[in-house]
A = this chain, B = another copy of it.
Amino acid sequence: MIIDTHAHAVFPQAISSYAADLVASRANPTAGPRQPITDEALHEIMARHIGNMDKVGTDWQIISPRPFMQLHSVDPAKVTQTWVKFNNDTIARQVAMFPDRIKGMAGLPQHRDYDLKPAIDELERAVTELGFVGCLLNPDPGEGGQLPPPGLGEDYWYPLYEKMVELDVPALVHSASSQHSRESYTLKFINEESIAAVSLTESTVFDDFPTLKLIIPHGGGALPYQMGRFHSWSIRRKQESTFLERLGKIWFDTTLYSEDALRLLFNVMGTDRLVFGTERPGTGSAPNPKTGRDFDDTKPTIETLLDAAGQKAVFEDNARTLFGDIF
């Protein structure tokens, strides 16, 4: 079984227009889309998406809101909350249409004012009422525009971690947009992942929450490639465990689009804490001139790099460990 743990929602255009309306009319953020979003429209676009999964042999996807469109740094916070909640509700409708192919992962209404309470409440609602199986966690809801909140190793995040542990759901650590034109949102994902992982390795988070499940996507940002640097840095500072041992408490996904990168990821990190992810359809949905396949069709590449046991772990078993026996 092939479980793709990292994918994002596909919605009809009318829903993007709603986002624009929300941003434009901030005084009245509770109004819904101009036209109601019909079941027919949602079904049509998701059926196409399922066809896209079939094309590359994916049995399941876990679907969350499009990260860059989460409006985390928009004022007032009510806009963010309205929008994220609407996203989750819409994904829940799609999951109900294809209950044997997709599962929902919640967006959280994190906001640049850093109040975590609405995010915690929405996580609880998404899991207990909508049946969602995890959440996105944005380490920089200010989207680069202000001083960021403390790193993921700091106790600012503990109330959210507590709720995740209580509900027994993992978070995919995924930033949203970037307010800096020099740093595209797609590169900010990568940089924030490195920051998140380093902050966690410097902390006692996994001593304080031994069952906390955090997934760093995109093959760990820069870290497996820059492993020697952090390994050495850790030895120079006479830390008790190695950098790799501390990274080993985090989960990572395989959302990388080249054979070289996947090979390095497997060599450096092994497969015990890796889950299959593609973000398809997304940044990698373009034909790779070298292979003829889409960049994000990475299953055939992984099959050439891992033995049967490694494939079973990455494609299926580790996802079951993380998300439970839900597939």
Contact = CB atoms under 8 A, between A and B. Distances in A.
This chain's copy number in the assembly: 2
B190 A222 contact: yes
Interface residues of A, number: 56
Given A153-B182, A190-B222, 20 more contacts: A151-B181, A182-B199, A187-B195, A187-B198, A190-B194, A191-B191, A218-B229, A222-B225, A225-B261, A227-B258, A228-B256, A229-B257, A231-B295, A232-B286, A232-B288, A232-B296, A233-B286, A260-B268, A261-B264, A263-B264
5 contacts: A151-B182, A225-B256, A227-B261, A228-B256, A228-B257
B195 A283 contact: no
Interface of A: 139, 145, 147-148, 150-154, 180-184, 186-187, 190-191, 194-195, 198-199, 218-219, 221-222, 224-233, 235-236, 256-258, 260-261, 263-264, 267-268, 283-289, 295-296
Contacts of A148: 180, 182
A131 to B, nearest CB: 31
Contact of A226 (B147, B151, B195, B256): B256
A118 B148 CA distance: 30
A268 B198 CA distance: 25
Given A190-B222, A283-B233, A286-B235, A228 B264 contact: no
